[in-house]
Structure 1
Amino acid sequence: MTTEPSDVVETPAGSPIESAVAELDGLATLPVEDHPAVFEGIHRVLRDQLAGTPGAHA
């Protein structure tokens, strides 16, 4: 399945999603053993946004 440009949803600058995804840029400077914590944090933000509960942590 390919994504058509009309299927792409833009997120506002500074949104929690944009901020979370931007954290991926910092992985290159971190030790590999620290990567899981970054991934978990990003996953938490994305999950909360999709669930409609921004900022809620399980």
Structure 2
Amino acid sequence: MMSEPTQAAGDRPDDPTTDEAVALLAALDDLDVAEHPQVFEAVHRVLRDQLAGTPGDRG
């Protein structure tokens, strides 16, 4: 059984929600490590809401 080819990250269509999650991760460099868990939780929430099809709370 052959699997579908996967799409490279650079080839994906623009998605504002995914872009938001990536931007949150990019901001980690500017934060103290103690603040990273809050960012990871926010990214998780954004992506989970995207998969569920709900806008969710981004705060």
TM-score of the superposed pair, with normalisation by structure 2: 0.70
Could you list the runs of 5+ residues in structure 1 that have no partner in the other structure?
none
In the alignment, what sits opposite 1:29?
Answer: 30
TM-score of the superposed pair, with normalisation by structure 1: 0.70
CA shift, 1:11, in A, is: 3.6
CA contact (8 A) 1:20 1:42 kept: yes
Based on CA coordinates, which of the two structures has the bigger radius of gyration? 2
Runs (4 or more) in structure 1 with deviation over 2 Å come to: none
1:39-58 matched pairs, under 5 angstroms: 39-53=40-54, 55-57=55-57
Could you list the runs of 5+ residues in structure 2 that have no partner in the other structure?
none
**Cα RMSD (Å) of the superposition?**
2.1
**Cα pair distance change 1:38/1:48, threshold 3 Å:** same
In the alignment, what sits opposite 2:12?
Answer: 10
CA contact (8 A) 1:11 1:18 kept: no
Q: How many residues align?
A: 51
Percent identity, please: 47
